[in-house]
């Protein structure tokens, strides 16, 4: 008997998870705006603009972490190229923001400042239409999906897996970074896109715009979580886990892993791109360093710290690592790399299931004692 769509989605999460999710949304969509706008800045309960930007940013990272977990935790494919998809989404949306500057740039031209600086007379063809939000939104989804699909098709078809796949994705991202660093490719070179002024006509620095972007990130994170939960619980998700655990056996049973891998890979890339598009207006800059090897590997460590193969783990990991990062880089900038390096080692050596796994073991041992 086929269940209706609503029931299927509702049954994706149990009652406790729905409650947690509702609390999260109430916090981010109601409590934070009220605390930011209505409470006086000197009050203890005031949420500062800095905190909103920071948490908005981390929620975007959390979406990326969930996307990474779908491909790594559930399908066993470690991608070192997720920074590329994140940046592609960011660049597409960044161009929209560049066009929104209009004639308010330092050269008072219709073209973005960096193009005037390079003495370009018109927009390159691939950026045509980038002044429309709808077109850009489409671009954010379609272009990274296309890149992921084509690359994934060729990689998975010839059964590149394990570290080979990781290294090839790393090389791909590296090549893209070199390309984006060039001035003549039309991506703003070293500086990337920055100095944004407004979005849909609203000032990008106003508290209300910030709160809307913050709320959108929270909503997107919640949607990603529900969708991912539903996906991994479905039959499709079970085949994915089977591919992770014994790919050749799955093939012998009669499944073709290619399409399963390709779908989850492309989906993961699109989620990253959406996160990138939400990230750029909040942070106010996108440049090629987002595609550096280090960034993509850091995504993997968020997932590993939180716990692979669970959906809440990556979110916890993204929050824990990034909060630690913003604290360290302010208080002890020279020790951050030591800490991060140790984190990589400790998590892989001692916490193979991350914080979530640690929590579970602790609870079990307490339960055993009681």
Partner 1 sequence: MIKSLLVMLLCVFCLPARAALDASLVRQLADEDSSRKVAAISALTQAADPDALRVFKAMDEDSLFLAGGKVVVIDGDQAFDAVTGVPLKAPDSPEPISVNNRIRGELANAMAALKLFDSDAGVRLASAQKLQSKAGPELAPLLARALEKESDARIKDLLTLAHAQANLANGDPGARLAAVKALAGSSSPSVKSLLLPLTDKSLESNTRVRYAAITAVKDIDGRMALTENLGRVFSGLSLGSILLLGALGLAITYGVMGIINMAHGELLMVGAYSAYAMQSLFRAYFPDAIDWYLPAAVPLAFFAAALVGVVMERTVIRWLYGRTLETLLATWGLSLILIQSARALFGAQNVEVANPAWMSGGIELMPNLTLPWNRIIIVGFALFVLSLVWVLMNRTRLGMFVRAVTQNRAMAGCVGVPTARIDTLAFALGAGIAGLGGLALSQISNVGPDMGQGYIVDAFMVVVLGGVGQLAGAVWAALGLGVFAKLLEGWAGAVIAKIVVLVVIIVFIQKRPQGLFALKGRFAE
Residue whose CB is less far from partner 1, 25 or 168: 168
In whole angstroms, give the CA distance from residue 88 to residue 276. Answer: 7
Site for partner 1 in 55-84 (CB under 8 A): 78
Give me the residue label for tokens 């597409």: 92
- Minimum CB separation from partner 1 for residue 156, in Å? 11
Does residue 164 belong to the site contacting partner 1 (CB under 8 A)? yes
- Cα–Cα distance measured from residue 346 to residue 335, given in angstroms and rounded to the nearest whole number: 16
Tokens of 115: 């193009």
Q: Which of 27, 337, 358, 362 binds partner 1 (CB under 8 A)?
A: 337
Nearer to partner 1, 59 or 321 (CB): 321
Q: Does 170 bind partner 1 (CB under 8 A)?
A: yes
Q: Is 246 helix (H, G, I), strand (E, B) or coil?
A: coil
Residue identified by tokens 């100095």 is 195
Q: Which is nearer to partner 1, 166 or 310 (CB)?
A: 166
Dist. CA 309–CA 315, nearest whole Å = 12
**Residues from 115 through 154 that contact partner 1 (CB under 8 A):** 151, 154
Non-local CB neighbours of 9 within 8 Å, separated by 6+ positions:
226, 230
| Residues in Cβ contact with 258 at an 8 Å cutoff, skipping those fewer than 6 apart | 153, 156, 157
Task: Give the one residue of 4, 42, 334, 368 binding partner 1; rule: CB under 8 A.
Answer: 334
* Separation between Cα atoms, residue 315 and residue 302, nearest integer Å: 8
* Shorter beta-carbon distance to partner 1: residue 5 or 350: 350
Residue with smaller CB distance to partner 1, 17 or 241: 241
Half-sphere exposure of 190 (CA within 13 A, CB side): 0
Span of 166-174, 229-237, 322-330, 361-369 interacting with partner 1 by CB under 8 A: 166-174
CA distances to 169, 355, 369 from 362, in Å: 36, 10, 11
Shortest CB 268 distance to partner 1, Å:
16
Tell me if 167 contacts partner 1 by CB under 8 A: yes
Q: Which two tokens stand for residue 48?
A: 């500062």
Applying CB under 8 A, among 157, 238, 249, 363 the residue interacting with partner 1 is: 157
CA 239 to chain centroid: 24
Instruction: Please give the torsion angle defined by the CA atoms of residues 357, 363, 366 and 370, in that order, rounded to the nearest 10 degrees.
Output: -140
Decide if residue 342 touches partner 1 (CB under 8 A): yes
Task: Considering only residues 292 through 331, tell me which ones interact with partner 1, judged by CB under 8 A.
Answer: 293, 297, 300-301, 304
Contacting range for partner 1; rule: CB under 8 A; set: 128-136, 170-178, 221-229, 357-365 = 170-178
Using alpha carbons, list the distances in angstroms from residue 234 to 57, 117, 239, 294, 338.
30, 52, 9, 34, 41
Token pair of 285 as six digits:
């800059």
Instruction: Give me the least distance between CB of 146 and partner 1, in Å please.
Output: 16
- Our CB check for partner 1 shows the closer of 182 and 238 to be 182
Q: By rule CB under 8 A, what count of residues binds partner 1? A: 41
Q: Residues interacting with partner 1, by CB under 8 A?
A: 78, 151, 154-155, 157-160, 162-164, 166-168, 170-172, 174-175, 178-179, 181-182, 293, 297, 300-301, 304, 334, 337-338, 340-345, 347-349, 352
């Amino acid at each position: 008997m086929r269940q209706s769509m609503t029931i299927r989605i509702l049954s994706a999460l149990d009652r406790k998870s729905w409650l947690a999710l509702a609390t999260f949304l109430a916090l981010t969509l109601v409590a934070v705006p009220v605390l930011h706008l209505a409470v006086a800045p000197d009050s203890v309960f005031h949420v500062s603009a800095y905190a909103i930007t920071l948490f908005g940013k981390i929620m975007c990272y959390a979406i990326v972490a969930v996307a990474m977990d779908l491909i790594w935790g559930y399908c066993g494919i470690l991608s070192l190229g997720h920074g590329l998809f994140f940046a592609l989404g960011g660049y597409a949306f960044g161009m929209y923001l560049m066009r929104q500057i209009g004639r308010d740039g330092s050269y008072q031209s219709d073209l973005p400042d960096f193009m005037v600086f390079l003495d370009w007379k018109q927009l390159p063809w691939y950026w045509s239409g980038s002044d429309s939000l709808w077109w850009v939104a489409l671009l954010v989804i379609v272009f990274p999906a296309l890149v992921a699909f084509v690359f994934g098709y060729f990689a998975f078809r010839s059964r590149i897996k394990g570290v080979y796949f990781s290294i090839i994705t790393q090389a791909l991202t590296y090549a893209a970074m070199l390309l984006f660093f060039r001035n003549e490719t039309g991506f703003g070179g070293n500086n990337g896109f920055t100095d944004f002024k407004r979005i849909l006509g609203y000032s990008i620095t106003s508290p209300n715009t910030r709160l809307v972007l913050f709320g959108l990130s929270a909503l997107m994170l919640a949607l990603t979580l529900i969708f991912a939960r539903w996906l991994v619980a479905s039959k499709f998700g079970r085949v994915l886990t089977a591919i992770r655990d014994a790919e050749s056996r799955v093939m012998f049973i009669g499944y073709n892993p290619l399409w399963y891998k390709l779908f989850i890979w492309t989906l993961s890339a699109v989620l990253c791109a959406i996160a990138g598009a939400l990230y750029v207006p909040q942070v106010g800059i996108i440049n090629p360093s987002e595609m550096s090897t280090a960034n993509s590997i850091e995504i993997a460590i968020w997932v590993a710290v939180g716990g692979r193969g669970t959906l809440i783990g990556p979110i916890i990991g993204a929050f824990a690592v990034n909060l630690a990062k913003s604290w360290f880089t302010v208080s002890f900038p020279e020790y951050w790399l030591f800490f991060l390096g140790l984190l990589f080692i400790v998590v892989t050596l001692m916490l193979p299931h991350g914080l979530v796994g640690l929590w579970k073991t602790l609870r079990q041992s307490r339960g055993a004692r009681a």
